[in-house]
A and B are shown apart, each in its own frame.
Chain A
Amino acid sequence: MVLDVNKKKYKVIGTRPIRHDGYDKVTGRAQYGADLKLPGMLIGAVLRSPHAHARIKNLDTTDAEKMDGVFAVMTAKDLPRLTDAERGNSEESGSEKHLSENVMAFDKVLYKGHVVAAVAAKDQNTALEAVKKIKVEYQILKSVTNVDQAMAPGAPILLEDFSGDHLGKKVRKTNIAAHVRHNVGDVDAAFKKAELIIEKEVNMQTVHQGYIEPHNATAVWDEEDRIKVWTSTQGAFDVRDSVSKVLGLGVSRIRVTPMEIGGGFGGKIPIYLEPIAAVLSKKSRRPVKAMMNRTDVFDATGPGPGGKVKVKIGIDSKGKMLAAYADIRLEAGGYPEAFIEAAAKCVFSCYEIPSMRIDAYDVLVNKASSAPYRAPASPQVAFATETVVDEICLQKKFDPIDFRLMNVATKGTRTALGPKYRTIGLQECLEAAKNSDQWKSRLDSKPSSGKKRGRGIASGYWFNIGFKSSVNLALNSDGIVSLTEGSTDIGGTRASIAMQAAEVLGIPAENIRPTVVDTDSIGHTDVTGGSRTTYATGYAAYKAAYKLIDEIIEKAALKWDINKNDVEYSDGVIKSKTDSALTMTIQEIASDSPGGPIVSSASVDLEEAGGGFAVHIVDLEIDEETGKTDVVNYTAIQDVGKAIHPSYVEGQMQGGAAQGIGWALNEEYFMSDDGVMLNSSYLDYRMPISLDLPMINTIIVEVPSEEHPFGVRGVGEPPIVPPIPAIGNAITNALGLRLLSTPMKPSRIIEALKKEN
């Protein structure tokens, strides 16, 4: 269902064409990173630390080097030593030294799975055998695997040369990489006026993005010190920049070709194998392909941070929120950061609260360095806030939607970080929730003996970044337009970008042929992530399409020998405004274009696009004997601004909901006492399967954003935010008790039920 607030009619936008890369993907032709084969290619394999925290005392690669079939061996000594000063605490300005050491440890390992060496050999099995021959002497150190352990006095320090930034003060010998604070109004005075104050603390386990395709990278380092890299990545230009830093080479020496990618969700933004494949290629003078296995992916690639979030909200006698406080502590893993600024931005984002204070801590622990995971840190903080909101509603007998509407964030609401919202659609989402079939349906709380049902609702938010994108267009003699862009396509964005160009040009979506190209073939394009792709690359396509029209008009004017102001273009047809005999199609002008082929190009560097809000409703059935929880009904409501391709928008809503459900009910890293993940396989890291989920109903709300010509907002990230609190609230509704830890797995439910009785 699509609820369009402004009822604008489009020709292509809002339709559901078959995606342009679809045929290759359903026939097995599409080339993902691991599918690439180059003549003479060797296989790279890495040696990983078995210890969560240790000093490397000695590293001996001699036996591996001597092995038959081994062509190169590398250690961190093959990488330049980077010594930049620590910079700010955002994704864009991380330390280069940390970037390099995360790729390959120099003198210390900070998590089990941390890479210490690598080999290139004639085939996979030889490479794996060679890795076993590398001898490493470790001095094992005590490890910490959660925020409490890491922040405790006397905790082992992970980064010994590093200074944490604690509210502006540089602090050494700390695992708190950063402590930031945000303050609006006067919380202390406001809490004193509150009639009711509810405070809850939630505890979240580490989770993984869970993409089915493990990481891969292939590289060729040639005689001119130019490097070609092929990799499944969310951002080819990001890879280029990062590899350039780690190897100490200029960016233009590196060409990155993004292969098709088997899922990312943020986890394929950081680099892992690319510099390793490159150095092995340099040393062996052959192409080298390196791939991770599933255990490596769990042990050593950035998870979504676990941690603790405490939220306190005070309301007046009518139910208006007066004050809110949050204490957010998230695991950064071995290196900063843990997205605490994003956490601060999101924690109170759904509400208008005059006084707010947030303390957020970025905490180093002996786990793989946290990577973005779909709305990083927003699900964690939403769990806390929406639990408090639900508790307020329970105690005051407020309707959950009416209470949220009473305090809803809207245009002009001041956010916790300071700026006021521009146009947003949370209110419309809450109203759509109220009118939804699921909300209006009766829930049988005791469907059969031993089973209870409950309903929960929660809101969530994610902003979306804009940044840089570039698009090139070329008009072919058959009237088909080739579109090249640099945004890797994880979920159908090739189509949504092409559709925006098609809309401007007034031609069918099938008449645009989009291709994702390498970093030498297109202008800088930032990552496919942050919910920016349909928004920003689409905007670049929109601009390029208008420029193409200008070109078409100019060429037509030239051809007809009239003034270009006399020429108009519409839906693939060019006409003279004054002489009705002068008319031609774009095929005709393209086949005979005076002065050169008809091409255009455009680029953007955009601000955030308005932000997306989501409201989810879940009905659960819980077996009181086993604790097993089934999702029996689910509705995801989200303001997407404008759904360019509704099927893929629905797909994002359903996929995000599914990940959130897994996070809420089953997913977690089981850590041993010495910091090793014990469930590093898909068998024991339990993600939802087709039997775990019902059909996921979607309601698309469209409150256009002010920042995009079609009103597009980012869609990909908001839907993972509400599921955890919605499920927590449904469990409370069913059983009358509240769980404050994820996952809310069967054993926890049983334990809680036992405590109640």
Chain B
Amino acid sequence: MNNQGKVKKVAISTTINGEEMEILVDPYISLLETLREIVGITGTKEGCNDGNCGACTVSIDGRIVDSCLVLGVEVEGKKIETVEGMATSEGLHPLQQAFLEEAALQCGICTPGFLVSAKALLDNEPKPSEERIRHWLAGNLCRCTGYDKIVKAVKKASN
């Protein structure tokens, strides 16, 4: 706390999509808000802000989390990956390409969350079954597609 009784911002060192950066964060804001407002990358979306829809999914040191349930200050020294880090100068990640080819998005708001979640699955289990895919993605809500084409896209990308 500073002299006026206001809570001071905290300096955080973190790596986001491979880029090391230092940011100043209010200690009470979420990682989601940190990414969108402080770092300024808005690919990660807010759907509910209470950990129930997965639209804010990011990966922290290889593990997927709902970034609305993580504080910004908690990622000191950690590696964060968001949807913005999936494509490279070589091109789209196979999941992104598969989502396009299989028409696995309609409004697209849930798509970043699904891509980050699905990538974490394929990074660890290269050839998941349909049931495994559905189980893994159960924390990501989609209201437009009924999940059919999303599951097909993940299967396609796993080949």
Q: Which chain A residues have a beta carbon within 8 Å of chain B's beta carbons?
A: 16, 18-19, 21-23, 25-32, 34-35, 37, 124-125, 209-214, 260-265, 293-294, 490-492, 645, 647-648, 650-652, 654-655, 657-659, 681-683, 687-691, 693, 695-696
Contacts and interface: CB of A to CB of B under 8 A. Distances in A.
Interface residues of B, number: 60
A178 to B, nearest CB: 30
B134 A691 contact: yes
B84 A28 contact: yes
B53 A27 contact: no
B129 interface: no
B49 A294 contact: yes
Candidate in B50, B83, B96, B108 with the most chain A CB atoms within 10 angstroms:
B108
Contacts of B45: 32, 34, 212-213, 262
Contacts of B55: 212
B141 A26 contact: no
B107 A690 contact: no
A263 B107 contact: yes
A260 B45 CA distance: 13
Contact of B44 (A28, A262, A693): A28
A385 B50 CA distance: 39
A691 B135 contact: yes
B138 A214 contact: no
Contact of A690 (B26, B102, B150): B150
A34 B105 contact: no
Given A27-B43, A28-B42, A690-B151, A655 B106 contact: yes
B48 A19 contact: no
Nearest to B46: A34
A515 to B, nearest CB: 16
B151 A28 contact: no
A188 B145 CA distance: 45
Interface in B63-96: 82-84, 86-87, 92, 96
A547 to B, nearest CB: 30
Give the one of B92, B101, B107, B142 with max A CB within 10 A: B107
Contacts of A26: 83, 92, 96, 99-100, 105, 108, 111, 115
Central interface residue in B41, B83, B109, by most chain A CB within 10 Å: B109
A690 B147 contact: yes
Contacts of A214: 46-47
Contact of B48 (A18, A22, A681): A681
A188 B106 CA distance: 48
B50 A681 contact: yes
Nearest to B101: A18
B149 interface: yes
Given A212-B47, A213-B47, A654-B148, A125 B28 contact: yes
A690 B43 contact: no
B138 A25 contact: no
A491 B103 CA distance: 10
A472 B96 CA distance: 31
Contact of A683 (B52, B96, B112, B145): B52
B24 to A, nearest CB: 13
B146 interface: yes
Given A19-B100, A125-B28, A690-B147, A27 B86 contact: yes
A655 B96 contact: no
The secondary structure that dominates the A interface is: loop
B145 A651 contact: yes
B53 A212 contact: yes
B31 interface: no
B34 interface: no
Contacts of A659: 143
A696 B146 contact: yes
A689 to B, nearest CB: 5
Contacts of A212: 45, 47, 53, 55, 107, 109-110, 141-143
A23 B115 CA distance: 13
B58 to A, nearest CB: 11
B16 interface: no
A492 B147 contact: no
A647 B103 contact: yes
Given A682-B52, A690-B138, A695-B148, A263 B143 contact: yes
Task: From A27, A211, A648, name the one whose CB has the most chain B CB atoms within 10 angstroms.
Answer: A27
Given A35-B36, A490-B107, 13 more contacts: A21-B108, A25-B105, A26-B99, A26-B105, A28-B41, A34-B45, A212-B107, A212-B143, A294-B48, A648-B106, A655-B144, A690-B134, A693-B146
B146 A658 contact: yes
A217 B7 CA distance: 30
A16 B143 CA distance: 22
Given A26-B96, A35-B42, A294-B49, A213 B107 contact: yes
B140 interface: yes
Contacts of B52: 681-683
B25 interface: no
Contacts of A19: 100, 103
Contacts of A654: 145-146, 148-149
Given A293-B49, A693-B146, A27 B96 contact: yes
B106 A491 contact: yes
Nearest to A656: B146
A210 B46 CA distance: 14
Contacts of A21: 108
A265 B106 CA distance: 12
A474 B100 CA distance: 27
27 contacts: A22-B99, A25-B108, A27-B92, A28-B83, A28-B84, A212-B45, A212-B107, A213-B47, A261-B107, A262-B110, A263-B109, A265-B143, A293-B49, A647-B102, A651-B144, A654-B148, A655-B143, A655-B145, A655-B146, A658-B143, A658-B146, A682-B47, A690-B135, A690-B150, A690-B151, A693-B146, A695-B151
A261 B52 CA distance: 20
B29 to A, nearest CB: 8
Nearest to A649: B103
Interface in B120-140: 130, 133-135, 137-140
A260 B151 contact: no
Contact of A213 (B33, B109, B138): B109
B158 to A, nearest CB: 16
A213 B143 CA distance: 10
B139 to A, nearest CB: 8
Nearest to A683: B52
Contacts of B28: 125
Contacts of B87: 27
B140 to A, nearest CB: 7
A26 B140 CA distance: 15
A651 B107 contact: no
Contacts of B26: 125
A530 to B, nearest CB: 17
Specify which of B33, B83, B138, B147 lies most central, judged by the most chain A CB atoms within 10 Å of its CB: B147
A648 B137 CA distance: 22
B41 to A, nearest CB: 7
A25 B146 contact: no
Given A35-B42, A294-B50, A657 B146 contact: yes
